[in-house]
Structure 1
Amino acid sequence: MEAARLHEYTEEMGDALSIDDIERPAVTHSDDVVVKVEGAGWCQTDNHIIEGMWTDYVDQDLPMTLGHENAGEVVEVGDEVQTVEVGDKVICHPVATCGECRQCRLGEDMYCENLAFPGLTTDGGFAEYLLTNERATIPLPNDVDPTDIAPHADAGITAYHAVKKAVDELNPGDPAVVIGVGGLGHIGLQCLDAMSAANIVALDVKPEARQLAEELGAHYTVDPTSADIPDTIADITNGHGAEQVLDFVGADETTGYAPDIVAPGGDHHIVGYGGHIHEPAQALVDGEFAYRGTLVGRYTELQELVRLVERGDVDLRTTRYDLSEINNVAEKLEHGEIEGRAVITPN
């Protein structure tokens, strides 16, 4: 089968991956599932993997097939698989978990002590077929296209996971700020609108992104290049600040907003990453606010997100690309030229 493989880390996206002919995965364990990939979302994390940013956090053996936002049709299952069968359309949770460790039994899939993360630690879905397991596969409703929904396997669930935490702290009418209305942010904004009665303020440097934010439910849109963000948020919130901030950019500048825009006791959720947090400890003490990281999400949260999609509450903006165009996609995303999410179609 054909697969897009990373052979060495590089910052040159134009020829980062090679299309190799490799052996098709097959069932070897009783809970294995092989999926014919119909759609695999390209994520900013894929760019970071190519750059070698993840080597300090996980072990990676190159060459490796990237792609962790996967959906398609089940073509082979292990002897003990019961929840899906050949022919089912599925979306794949980003991690294949063991189900036996303490974290799995607590429902914290992302903390599984024995997880395999396709596209990050094992071969992923930028290929014609993907090997995963039963615990990672979620059957899709008949009217949901696997290609269109594929990016929800990471982008969607990550945005949903962050919003779900924020919504727990939001009362009707509370101000919430969404920073970045791109591939993740436009999903997060819709989830926030569907799951809360917050007053949503969207920040983005692109006029088209701010227009999209208005269409998706934002009550206010702000251009950070022409507005003083702390003053603007103070004006919108009558000096109180934002109860919850969802940062889908995660740059030094955006994480630095927190002391000046988060309300006392509020949270600044880090969803996008690449930057740093440079704040004196006293700033956190004085404002009693918190930075909260977001690591994808639980299996059950992906199920919940699929329900929102099925109801029409969350609309994913996607553009499809052939597997042969994969380095072009990497380059486009690196230069901020992709609106919404790019989806690779290997088959």
Structure 2
Amino acid sequence: MRAARLYRYDPEMREELKLEQVPDPEIRHPNEVIVRIVAAGLCRTDLHIIEGVWREILDPAGTLLPYTPGHENTGIVEAVGSAVTAVKPGDRVICHPLKSCGVCLACRMGEDMYCTNGRFPGLDSDGGFAEYLVTNERALVKLPEEVDLVEVAPLADAGLTAYRAAKRAARLVPPDGWAVVIGIGGLGHLALQVLRVLSAARLVAVDIAPQALERAKELGADYVLPGGPELVAQVRELTGGGAHVVLDFVGERGVEQQGWQMLRKGGTHLIIGYGGRLEIPTVQMIFQEMAVAGSLVGNYRELSELMDLAARGLVRVYVQRYRLEEINRAIDDFKHGRYFGRAVIVP
């Protein structure tokens, strides 16, 4: 089969993925499933992997490369192991990003992303920038015919991450409260839609790109603000003292320092984007009684809930399609912000 392979980490992002022929995958365990890839989303994490940001976590021994990235995958079940009963060849599926074990305490509690024995295709093993992917039965959510496999591919990770954070925010903000979404890009535009569905809060969308702010209006934002040094003051004035929840999908370039400063007392700063460093005076933490928390992808149940919203047309993904042989152009377009939403690789 064809696969796009990473051979070298490169902080300067000059390294290109190499499209080559590799052996077709084989089922080695009774619960495994081979999926013929229909679509694989391109995520900023893929860029961070190429840059080597994740190297110390994923590949400390330097033995992972070469391998195939791609962790937002949809496709058609091609073959199943002898113990698989939930899916069969021909089923249309989206893949939860983690191959979880199902028997550790985290799995039994329903938090797949905390699995102590899990593998993450596309991060620590071969992923979906290829014609086929090996995953396991537990990772698959079956999809109805009316769901476009290309359009929902980014929901496997970007959408799931946005959904988990927005669902958490919806529980924290009262109906007459304020939620601020910083970064209306590949994740933020999804979180905005989920918040519109799950809460009655007043939604403020923040971005530096005029196109993103226009999209935010279309997707249900009550107010839009351009990012910049005056943002904190603008939010505090607009909200009458600060937001109940801030969802930060940027997490770097100084934006991470703005989120907590625009909270009202008792507010929560949810960090989803990453790359920067957060510094908060402890006295502010105490007297504002604020909470700062990270948000990590999402579990299987949340992916199933998100797929239901997508099937009912309540969540829409803006996608830009690329063929597998165009993957390096897709990466370059991503780096330079040449499209809105998410890139999807279609083998």
Aligned letter for 1:317?
Y
CA distance in 1, matches of 2:240, 2:245: 15
Q: Identify the residue that residue 257 of structure 2 maps to in structure 1.
A: 256
Residue 265 of structure 1, CA deviation: 1.4
1:58 and 1:313, CA in 2 relative to 1: closer, same or farther beyond 3 A?
same
Partners of 1:87 and 1:257 in 2: CA distance: 48
Letter of the structure 1 residue corresponding to residue 129 of structure 2: F
Quote the residue 2:16 is aligned against: 16
The code of the aligned residue for 1:111 comes to Y
1:287–1:258 distance in 2 versus 1, CA, 3 Å: farther
Paired position in structure 2 for 1:45: 45
For structure 2, the 5+ residue unaligned runs are none
Counterpart of 1:69 in structure 2 is: 72
Gap regions ≥5 residues in structure 1: none
The two structures, once aligned, show a CA RMSD in angstroms of: 1.2
Matched, 1:194 2:219: no
What is the Cα deviation at residue 31 of structure 1? Answer: 0.4
Alignment of 1:58-97 (within 5 A): 58-59=58-59, 61-97=64-100
Aligned partner letter, 1:306: M
The alpha carbon displacement at 1:122 in A equals 0.5
CA shift for structure 1 position 221: 0.3
Partner SS state of residue 173, structure 2: coil
Task: Give the stretch that moved more between structures: 249-258 or 299-308.
Answer: 249-258
User: 1:246-303: CA deviations, max 9, x gaps?
Assistant: 1111114221113421111111111111111122222212211122111110011000
Asked if 1:233 is matched to 2:235, the reply is yes
| Structure 1 residue 161 displacement after superposition | 0.5
- The TM-score with structure 1 as length reference comes to 0.97
The answer to whether residue 129 in structure 2 is matched with residue 142 in structure 1 is no
8 Å CA contact 1:41, 1:341 repeated in 2? yes
Q: 1:170 to 1:259 in 2, by over 3 A?
A: closer
Displacement of 1:20 in angstroms is 1.7
Secondary structure in structure 2 of the residue aligned to 1:256: helix
Runs of 4+ in 1 over 6 A off after TM superposition: none
What do residues 204-261 of structure 1 show as CA deviations (whole Å, max 9, x unaligned)?
A: 0111100100000000000123x7212211221112x100011111114221113421
Query: Quick one: which amino acid aligns to residue 98 of structure 1?
Result: C
Identity %: 48
Distance, in Å, in 1 between the alignment partners of 2:280 and 2:187 is 25
- Counterparts of 1:70 and 1:157, CA distance in 2: 12
What amino acid is the match of 2:240? N
Report the equivalent of 1:152: 155
Deviation at 1:15, TM superposition (A): 4.0
Aligned-residue offset at 1:26: 1.4
Q: Which amino acid aligns with 1:132?
A: T
Shift of the 286–16 alpha-carbon distance from structure 1 to 2, 3 Å rule, reads: farther
Moved more, 149-158 or 227-236: 227-236
Q: Cα deviation per residue 1:33-85 (whole Å; 9 max; x = unaligned)? A: 00000000000000000011112222361111000000000000011111110
